[in-house]
Amino acid sequence: MKARVEVMLRNGVLDPQGEAVRHALGALGFDGVHGVRQGKVIELDLADGTSEADVHQMCERLLANTVIESYQIEIS
């Protein structure tokens, strides 16, 4: 079983890395980009019997800083 976790900064949290990407795109001539939010994707290869609740615990305890980040889990 596999899980894919997408972690993003919450709305309203300053994203300096995203702003740097937006600025660099403008410098390259891509003037139509008004905002960039950057996050991370974590892919987990899980043992049989690992529940989605276990993955939520992984996110809450290690993979995401839930004070400033939100996450989404996709199990396949």
What is the count of structural domains for the chain?
Answer: 1
- Residue 64 Cα to chain centre, angstroms: 8
DSSP alpha helix (H) spans, 1-76: 16-27, 52-58
**What are the per-10-residue average pLDDT scores of the chain (76 residues)?**
97 96 97 96 97 98 98 97
Distance separating alpha carbons of residues 64 and 76, to the nearest angstrom: 20
Instruction: Give the predicted TM-score (pTM) of the model.
Output: 0.87
Q: Domain range for residue 60? A: 2-75
Distance separating alpha carbons of residues 63 and 76, to the nearest angstrom: 19
Q: What is the predicted pLDDT for the residue at 26?
A: 96
| 9 touches 69 (CB < 8 A) | yes
Q: What is the predicted pLDDT for the residue at 34?
A: 95
Q: What is the predicted pLDDT for the residue at 76?
A: 94
